[in-house]
Amino acid sequence: MAPLTQAPKGTLDTLPRDSFLLRKIENQMIEIAENFGFKEIRTPTFEHTELFCRSVGDTTDVVQKEMYTFEDKGGRSITLRPEGTAGAMRAVVEHGLTNEPMPLKLFYLLSCFRHEKPQAGRLREFHQFGAELLGSSSPKADAEVILLADSLLSSFEIGEYSLEINSLGCKSCRGEYTKKLIEYFSKNEETLCETCKGRLNKNPLRILDCKSPICKKVAADAPKITEFLCEDCSEHYKGVKKSLDSMGVKYKENPDIVRGLDYYNRTVFEFISSSLGAQSTVCGGGRYDGLISQLGGNDCASLGFGLGIERLVSLYNLTHPEKETKKPKIFISSIGEAASNAAFKYTGELRNKGVFAECDIVGRSLKAQMKYADKLGAKYSIVLGDDEIASGKAVLKDMESGEKREIELRNIAEEIK
């Protein structure tokens, strides 16, 4: 039995020293997304299991191996969300959001759950920033979503990363490609892992995404989807590249990108960082034009991406090693009980005016209070005693420069602006 004082395997506690950075990252993401016209959507942590089987695909690793699924007290099969798109699209259909002016632009920040082997950059409970754009089949929509992801990453100054793109085609051109894949992998069937043997005739595209080194080696020489694109898909792919070129976004074409979920079609993309080791993908996404209709809604062109928060934080910490915290604007020290009560009162008044203020509530000596104020990184400090309370005045000290000046206690907030 696991100790009660140990978090479940594959989960992490976000401690105060890390939560400030996490909130900063989230707030910055929200601001950038809103500047692109995206609006926040929030969906439940769990959904009916069938939603993910139908959208993500029952031949994917996510559905076959990784979902946290259980039966609730009503006998219904429920699954903790393994990704964000399916729930967002379910909400779009349920609430008729496709009837709103198009394009519809949504974003979310959420926790996801997958039963995977925990390692650096891969947790069983992880967090994502996601964006979805609905109602446009234009290559410019693909470029806009990619540009949003690029803007998010570049805003955090996380060092070098690269963009890789591919096209998976549509049902029409993928049919011929699927036949060629079955033909190719059938010649190597005995070499494939057991899971991929089962995928061979059901969904051979999934073999290209298998994590097994043996299957990866076999897939290396498999036919490439870009050789089978129909005219419409080929033109769309050219349009995406043209739009990215016009915005100065650098990219590399990688015909091996298929993504791990079945709902993708046409454009797929990944942002890669060499600083993350094996888990090098920071952000990935693409088109899923048939997903809305698959869930019972009207046909609606759609695309989006998911960006891993934990991986982004890891990259940020590599390039910004110093921990950031919010520091008090002022620490009010005190000598004696009357001064302690006054310090507590002034601290409360400052907080009510939106000032981050602190005072001693432990009973430290004056010397210990000043040491504590310094550790907190307070910008200013004041020492209150009987004389200061009687006169209504005190000496304000700049903790960094050492500069001192006398101020009236009633004007503390104005003096430290």
Is position 202 within any domain?
Answer: no
Based on the fold, state whether residues 263 and 353 are members of the same structural domain. Answer: no
Is residue 1 pLDDT above 60, yes or no?
A: no
pLDDT at 276: 72
Q: How many CB atoms lie within 10 A of CB 157?
A: 10
Based on the fold, state whether residues 341 and 265 are members of the same structural domain. Answer: no
DSSP tally for the chain: helices H, then strands E: 15, 16
Pick the last residue of a domain from 319, 350, 383: 319
Q: How many CB atoms lie within 10 A of CB 98?
A: 17
Is residue 178 pLDDT above 80, yes or no?
A: yes
Based on the fold, state whether residues 146 and 30 are members of the same structural domain. Answer: yes
pLDDT at 216: 84
Based on the fold, state whether residues 133 and 268 are members of the same structural domain. Answer: yes
Is position 2 within any domain?
Answer: no
Is position 183 within any domain?
Answer: no
pLDDT at 218: 85
Cα–Cα distance measured from residue 167 to residue 244, given in angstroms and rounded to the nearest whole number: 14
User: Taking residues 366-391, what's their average pLDDT?
Assistant: 96
Based on the fold, state whether residues 315 and 334 are members of the same structural domain. Answer: no
Is position 211 within any domain?
Answer: no
Q: What burial letters (b/e) apply to 223-242, b meaning 16+ CB within 10 Å?
A: eebbebbbeebeebbebbbe
pLDDT at 280: 82
Give the domain range for residue 375.
Answer: 330-415
Based on the fold, state whether residues 116 and 152 are members of the same structural domain. Answer: yes
Based on the fold, state whether residues 287 and 341 are members of the same structural domain. Answer: no
* Contact (CB, 8 A) for 149 and 285: yes
* Contact (CB, 8 A) for 409 and 392: yes
Report the predicted TM-score, pTM, of the whole model to 2 decimal places.
0.87
Is position 149 within any domain?
Answer: yes
Determine the straight-line distance between the first and last CA of the chain, rounded to whole angstroms: 54
Based on the fold, state whether residues 337 and 311 are members of the same structural domain. Answer: no
Is position 5 within any domain?
Answer: no
Is position 103 within any domain?
Answer: yes
- Poorest-pLDDT segment among 61-75, 93-107, 223-237, 323-337: 61-75
pLDDT at 121: 66
- From the list 268, 173, 266, 263, the residue with the least C-alpha distance to 223 is 173
CATH at residue 366: 3.40.50.800
Place of tokens 């695309």: 303
Instruction: Convert the pLDDT of each residue in 110-141 to its tens digit.
Output: 999 998 787 776 789 999 999 999 999 999 99
Which 8-state DSSP code applies to residue 65? Answer: I
pLDDT at 172: 85
Pick the last residue of a domain from 319, 340, 374: 319
Instruction: Convert the pLDDT of each residue in 274-320 to its tens digit.
Output: 877 666 889 999 999 988 988 888 889 999 999 999 999 988 988 88
pLDDT at 260: 61
Based on the fold, state whether residues 313 and 288 are members of the same structural domain. Answer: yes
Instruction: Convert the pLDDT of each residue in 308-352 to its tens digit.
Output: 999 999 889 888 887 778 899 999 999 999 999 999 999 999 999
Is residue 58 pLDDT above 80, yes or no?
A: no
Pick the last residue of a domain from 299, 319, 339: 319
CATH at residue 51: 3.30.930.10
pLDDT at 332: 97
- Mention every residue, 6+ apart, whose C-beta is less than 8 A from residue 403: 397
Is residue 244 pLDDT above 90, yes or no?
A: yes
What tokens were used for 244?
């990215």
Q: How confident is the model at residue 2 (pLDDT cuts 50, 70, 90)?
A: low
pLDDT at 61: 67
- From the list 311, 305, 304, 256, the residue with the least C-alpha distance to 282 is 311
Based on the fold, state whether residues 144 and 243 are members of the same structural domain. Answer: yes
| The one-letter amino acid at 417 | K
What's the number of domains the chain is made of? Answer: 2
The percent of residues in the chain predicted with pLDDT above 70, rounded, is 97
Based on the fold, state whether residues 334 and 242 are members of the same structural domain. Answer: no
Q: How confident is the model at residue 85 (pLDDT cuts 50, 70, 90)?
A: very high
Is position 35 within any domain?
Answer: yes
